[in-house]
Amino acid sequence: MLLSPAQPGRRQFRRLRVEQHWAKIIEAIGEDLSRPGLADTPKRAAKAFEFLTRGYQQSVDEVVNKALFPSDSSEMVLVQDVELYSLCEHHLLPFIGKCHVAYIPTGKVLGLSKVARIVDVFARRLQIQESLTTQIAQTIMDVTGAEGVGVIIEAQHMCMMMRGVEKQNSLMKTSAMLGSFRTEQKTRDEFLSLLQLRR
């Protein structure tokens, strides 16, 4: 089932290619694309996959959009429980969880929603959780010029829950500590205490 290679636009051409590949995958597992329930599935799957990986079409500059504001605050800023949805690059299965981001400003603070948008830019790509955590932390550091940044992600991975070892209650936690969050124990302790994760 091949679709027309016409290029009404780069985005649409990319979606058509993904649609063709979904059709081949569905046929390869033994399904019949002509049956009513599957007739439009390649198109729907291509559109969904485009949404789930839209981070490739976004840049940090676009999502931040100059939303940095002068501030005299030098106290910790914490954005907790940012919902996170990503795709494991090993099996293309979802991992779902929450991200906690903290930073200590040095004259500038970032618009609140922009923290969540930065999380999404990197989460909406094929990822492993370890890299995702580091990318978010380094970007917040670069954008704000902060004294330090701390990021913790807690997520459940469908590649462990739906297949393989099938462990339903496993939770993966990763952290990235930059600047004063790495060098100052009291800064890390404050971060973990605010999150009620300190042991």
Q: Which active-site residues does the annotation give? A: 88-91, 129, 157, 159
Q: Which residue has the tokens 């789930």?
A: 52
Beta-strand pair 108-110/148-157: unpaired
Closest CA to 53 of 18, 10, 98: 18
Q: Are 55 and 121 contacting, i.e. CB atoms less than 8 angstroms apart?
A: yes
Backbone dihedral angles phi then psi of residue 7, each to the nearest 5 degrees:
-115, 85
Cα gap 56→122, rounded to integer Å: 8
Q: Are 1 and 23 contacting, i.e. CB atoms less than 8 angstroms apart?
A: yes
* Cβ-based neighbour number of residue 52 at 10 Å: 17
Q: Are 138 and 98 contacting, i.e. CB atoms less than 8 angstroms apart?
A: no
Cβ-Cβ contacts under 8 Å for 173 (sequence gap 6 or more): 152, 153, 154
Q: Are 85 and 94 contacting, i.e. CB atoms less than 8 angstroms apart?
A: yes
